[in-house]
Amino acid sequence: MCGIAGFIDLWDRRAPRLRDERASILENMCEVIRYRGPDDSGSLLKHGVALGMRRLSIIDLAGGHQPMSGEDGSATVVFNGEIYNFRELYTQLEAHGHKFCTRSDTEAIVHAYEQYGTACVDHLRGMFAFAIWDERNQKLFLARDRAGEKPLYYSLTPSGTLVFGSELKSLLEHPGVRRAASTPAMRNMPVP
């Protein structure tokens, strides 16, 4: 099953939360979804960005640890799902000069991003939700499969932090996420 969680301080990137504070928040966000991935966990903390994941090992049991970076380390991904055409992508991306270190579908995503940018999703067949931190361009790219089979929730806090995760309860572990319903949104809900 797996699960991802994380956040990025969008507005105040010059003075992000202290590293220990970000690490603690991310650990709590991932711990509440531990049951989604009891086999492994991992995190990335840098420049106001926090990426975390819980992994249920299915493909490439030994080499699929996340977060996973590409060849030069400038793109790093956390991923939930399965890419059905990852072997085909390996062949295509190797023809473009990419070098693979694992046999994981996760690595196919990060190399596809290096090759195609955000259009990488056009090359992915499967069920997925992922976050890629692009160090070179200082951008966070979030995506999920077209049918939404793998969930990806997000919230923007009043202080400008984008918080995301595979489950809402991960988001609620971030101190900036409000635990209140949106009255305007409820007014627009259809009544059965």
Residues forming the active site: 2
Residue owning tokens 């209140």: 180
User: What secondary structure does DSSP assign to 159-178, as a single string?
Assistant: TSEEEEESSHHHHTTSTTS-
- Closest to 92 in 3D by CA, of 62, 63, 72, 114: 114
* Contact indicator for 170, 27 with CB cutoff of 8 Å: no
Query: Angle at CA 50, nearest 5°, toward 35 and 123?
Result: 80
